[in-house]
Chain A
Amino acid sequence: MNNTPITRRESIKKIVQLSAGIAVASGLPLSARGKTVFAGETAPTAARDAEAAVNGAWLIDGLGSEPDFSIRDLTRRMFTQAGGMEKFISKGDIVVIKPNISWAQLPHLAVTTNPEVMMAVIELCQEAGAKSVRIVDHTIHDARRCFAATGAGHVAEQTGADLVHPRQSLMKDMNLKGRRIDAWPVFVPIVEADKIINLPIAKVHGLSGLTLGMKNWIGAVGGRRNALHQDIHQSIVDLARFFRPTLTLIDAVRVLAANGPSGGREEDVRILNRLILSNDPVAADARAALLFDKKPEDIVHIRLAHQQGLGNIDLDADRQVQVTA
């Protein structure tokens, strides 16, 4: 069973290497390359980085207060405050960025992750020495149209990051060991990554109340995703337990205050100029819920995640820092 996600560029490289390997009649170059996670195994490397999140949790609240602040600067300042991207990303890492680009809508409609935030994060990863950065999302609309409309394709083109097309062969059954869902097809590139950065946009959602960081993992699985809504809250928590990101950066520069998660109308967009960065996925979601004037406890999946020990719903004030630009 092979689960290695691969981009077109890499596959050309691999084929060249393969033909070279065959030419010298030696199997050596083929072995010991790439790390393969087998279906059924859990705990990707990145998960361990976040194990300490509950205890060593911190949160950085970014606010663009100047009239024409630069999103790029704000993002960079927040990461500097966090200790620099080098603290989280090692040289040679394969980093997966998991934005929410599920809908083929334009960036200003606040339906998908702001491309400027995405670009700033990818640049930081590359500066920190990441071997490759992959933009991975199992979209709801046709992936090509999503890449085109949301700006993700443009960001990939500008930064040299890879766009991974969510094809069915990249969804492999794994054991999620959740309370509600166990065996489920998982979008392989995400669990294969060395580091994962969750990059959701904050929006309202009909069933889960809000869609923030933890809800974003629904875009990391395949299979009958539409059936997850029958127990959405526990499903979200199960997914959040499985996918432990190194960092969560919630994009609340523009948020969708009504008609979510698909949006499509400028009247529903609120400009908040906020970014929330945390190593604790629950704390990040809880902080973002406040932006919508909602109590974090009222969002069932945030409460459940706290109760099931995934993070802090009420992070101490002295662990929170505000950064402005």
Chain B
Amino acid sequence: MKVSRLIWVRRISQAFFLCLFVYLLFSTRLPQDVYLDYSLTFADAPDVRLAPPVKFFWQINPLAWITTVLATHQWVAGFAWAIGLLALTLLLGRFFCGFICPLGTLHHMASSTKPALKGSALAEANRQKPDRMIKYFLLTIICVAAFLGLNLSGLLDPISLLFRSLALAVFPALGNALNGFFELLARSDIKILNLLSYSSEVLVAPLFGYETVAFQTGWFIGILFLLILFLNRIRPRFWCRVLCPLGALLGICSKYSLLRLEKIDDKCTHCGACTRNCQGAASCEPGMTWQSPECLLCLNCKELCPEDALAFKLNRPLPVRGPARFDSGRRVVLTGLMAGVSLPFLGKLDGITHRSPSPQLIRPPGSLPENEFLDRCQRCGLCMKVCPTNAIHPAFTEAGMAGFWTPNLIMTLGYCEYTCTLCGSVCPTGAIADMTSEVKTKTPIRIGSAYIDRGRCLPWAGNGSCIMCEEVCPTSPKAIYLKDDFVINPEKEMVAVKLPYINLKQCVGCGICETKCPVRGKPAIRVISAGETRDPDNQILL
């Protein structure tokens, strides 16, 4: 089988963008070696920002752009690349799927390195199937739901899905496994193994971090990702053909694309090479009508045809001939419309957005009000990956159905660093505002407020002295103040202690008190969302 130059161009492009994706993913973290010049910091400290363009794949992502525009009902800046990509798709078809999409590349690799199907079974699997319409159905749901105020695109958008899966499941699991392995070596009594454990400093820590990371529902994200990869055994690139809403969007745009597959029927010997290698089940074989919305532009059919019976040429699309076919598209759009209309309202039935905010739902600093937040959030996981204290987690039940996998701070696992503004700086759609740490601390941006559980608090319950929460409180003056007082200890003696109180006017809800509280499990000081700057109704004080 000859493999020609164009296929290699495609492979190199795919490899490049996959590597770029992984590189940007690893770059989405607090850099280890950005040191401020302290002689400068006596004036104003520059905010720590990431140098690599970690938002790149969302900026070229038309689905992220369209759903954000639909949901916010306003023009959203920063997506010029995505518009350009749509325009190019009108011209060339789904080249993004064949040449750029890193998830598509993974599917391509998974389905062709060790194919589950061969020969006639493969040819049969690559014929056009009616379930290809599912992706248009999903796209309709996503667009309609976005227009009505619930942006679900991130759940299925391939870029967000891939980032979430890799950053919150695959790489953390890998990193924890490697760290565990090297810890095991470090504990060994054998000198050589000991020395080998030092290599973790060099190999593991720079990529996976020094600490063991955790992500709520990470196991679920990982299993779903494995399942999606497994679908390639049913049919090559099952995801791209059947489920991908971005593929559907690009497919619609490429319906009348100018780059067409031209078939020279006379030359064709019906050897089936084109169908067996077709990535998109686009009916590339002469004798069938080529489906430009399904073609992933992998170029396999043209390059692998032994008779040169196929060619891609820039041409005006031919008018559709033949008898009027049954158009399943209209039904798909209608049912998708109904589902899309119902989802935003069903999803918000738990009342978090309009009746009583969830106390456990603590959004990253600078987040928009809940309804606007849900308009924009792509659930991509960039903020979760970049958070240096591992405080931001995909929400499970805290944000209700509508907010599944949106970012939520869990203060027992991490806390919001007072001057850190990295999460807002990486948010691709502006669901979390990009602000300076001066704005964050001077405004101040509050994400909630702390309260003391006096039954658990050591000094309050007479179990000993402690001022941990007051010590770590970062605001000035401190939001936690101490009062000298006497309590009765378990031995029924009066003992002098310092009792912590909270000054709600100062508290920003950063949660470091909850993280560092010595009462483990359920800390004696906890943060709830009440008092957050973004919601004027979710307040405590007048």
The residues of A with any CB-CB pair to B shorter than 8 Å are 1-2, 6-8, 10-12, 14-15, 18, 22, 30-31, 103-108, 115-116, 140-145, 147-157, 165, 167-169, 205-207, 224, 226-227, 229-232, 258-259, 261-265, 268
- B196 / chain A contacts, CB cutoff of 8 Å: 15, 18
For the A-B complex, the count of residue pairs with Cβ-Cβ distances under 8 Å equals 158
Judging by beta carbons under 8 Å apart, are A1 and B478 in contact? no
Q: A142 CA to B205 CA in the complex, in Å?
A: 15
The A-contacting residues of B in range 457-504, CB under 8 angstroms, are: 458, 464-468, 470-478, 482, 498
Judging by beta carbons under 8 Å apart, are B35 and A14 in contact? no
The residue in A142, A143, A232 that gathers the most chain B C-beta atoms within 10 A of its C-beta is A142
Judging by beta carbons under 8 Å apart, are A151 and B516 in contact? no
Q: A230 CA to B211 CA in the complex, in Å?
A: 27
- B478 / chain A contacts, CB cutoff of 8 Å: 259, 262
Listed A/B pairs (14) with beta-carbon separation below 8 Å: A2-B197, A7-B201, A143-B210, A153-B33, A153-B35, A154-B35, A155-B38, A206-B467, A207-B466, A224-B518, A226-B516, A231-B465, A263-B476, A264-B475
Q: Which of B33, B41, B197 contacts A151 (CB 8 A)?
A: B41
- B32 / chain A contacts, CB cutoff of 8 Å: 144
The A-contacting residues of B in range 313-367, CB under 8 angstroms, are: none
Apart from A167-B205, A259-B477, A262-B476, what 8 extra A-B contacts exist at CB < 8 Å? A18-B192, A18-B196, A144-B32, A145-B417, A145-B420, A150-B38, A151-B36, A259-B478
Q: A150 CA to B30 CA in the complex, in Å?
A: 16
CB distance from B437 to the nearest CB of A (A): 10
A interface majority secondary structure: helix
- A7 / chain B contacts, CB cutoff of 8 Å: 201
CB distance from B47 to the nearest CB of A (A): 11
Q: A230 CA to B458 CA in the complex, in Å?
A: 8
Beyond A104-B417, A107-B38, is A144–B388 a contact (Cβ under 8 Å)?
yes
- B458 / chain A contacts, CB cutoff of 8 Å: 230
CB distance from B477 to the nearest CB of A (A): 6
Asked if B3 lies at the interface with its beta carbon under 8 angstroms from chain A, I say no
The A-contacting residues of B in range 265-286, CB under 8 angstroms, are: none
Q: Which of A2, A153, A265 contacts B186 (CB 8 A)?
A: A2
- B470 / chain A contacts, CB cutoff of 8 Å: 206-207
Judging by beta carbons under 8 Å apart, are A148 and B34 in contact? yes
Asked if B217 lies at the interface with its beta carbon under 8 angstroms from chain A, I say no
Judging by beta carbons under 8 Å apart, are A15 and B202 in contact? yes
B interface majority secondary structure: loop
- B389 / chain A contacts, CB cutoff of 8 Å: 142
The residues of B with any CB-CB pair to A shorter than 8 Å are 30-38, 41-42, 45, 48, 183, 186-189, 191-192, 194-199, 201-202, 205, 210-212, 388-389, 417-420, 441, 458, 464-468, 470-478, 482, 498, 516-518
Beyond A11-B201, A108-B41, A230-B458, is A167–B211 a contact (Cβ under 8 Å)?
yes
- A15 / chain B contacts, CB cutoff of 8 Å: 195-196, 198-199, 202
Q: A207 CA to B423 CA in the complex, in Å?
A: 34
Q: A53 CA to B106 CA in the complex, in Å?
A: 66
Judging by beta carbons under 8 Å apart, are A154 and B199 in contact? no
| Closest A residue, CB atoms, query B194 | A2
3 nearest CB pairs, A to B: A151-B38, A153-B35, A265-B476
- A207 / chain B contacts, CB cutoff of 8 Å: 465-467, 470-471, 498
Q: A152 CA to B191 CA in the complex, in Å?
A: 33
Judging by beta carbons under 8 Å apart, are A229 and B468 in contact? yes
- A147 / chain B contacts, CB cutoff of 8 Å: 35
Judging by beta carbons under 8 Å apart, are B476 and A268 in contact? yes
| Closest B residue, CB atoms, query A106 | B41
Judging by beta carbons under 8 Å apart, are B36 and A12 in contact? no
CB distance from A180 to the nearest CB of B (A): 12
Q: A262 CA to B418 CA in the complex, in Å?
A: 11
Judging by beta carbons under 8 Å apart, are B192 and A142 in contact? no
- B192 / chain A contacts, CB cutoff of 8 Å: 18, 22, 30
- A11 / chain B contacts, CB cutoff of 8 Å: 198-199, 201-202
- A1 / chain B contacts, CB cutoff of 8 Å: 187, 189
CB distance from B307 to the nearest CB of A (A): 55
